[in-house]
Amino acid sequence: MKTIHAAALTLAIAIALSSCTPKMMFGTSSIVPAASGEVHVKKDKNKNYIVSVDVQNLAEASKLTPSKNIYLVWAESSEESAKKLGQLVPTGKVLKAELKATTIAEPRTVFITAEDNADVLYPDGQIILTTRK
């Protein structure tokens, strides 16, 4: 009986671990050197990927040179090129921003660009932070 429970527990742990990818860290930005953050990706019960982006010290886009209006988060997967996940708005003393988004393809790279408007279909502005090595 103990072996059945041990096998079931081992199987449950293996399934839980396979539904998550390791967290991805953003590299240091030459444009906003104080900015830092990470990305967590989890697979949900519908086999979609939940992407959670957390960044700190992300200067307001209007203070960049050249000045921009917004930050957009993008994900690239092995199946598709850059897909827009959403907008980041840094707030508070530590200029923190968070985003949760869903995508059907597992992200291999997540990056943040500074853009003039949210209507862009493809990344057009400077890449501020990226998980690409």
pLDDT in tens, 27-70: 999 999 999 999 999 999 999 999 999 999 999 999 999 999 99
Domains of the chain: 22-130 (2.60.40)
83-126: per-residue pLDDT in tens?
Answer: 999 999 999 999 999 999 999 999 999 999 999 999 999 999 99
Mean of pLDDT values over 5-9: 47
Strand spans (E) along the chain: 20-25, 36-43, 49-56, 70-77, 83-88, 97-103, 107-115, 127-130
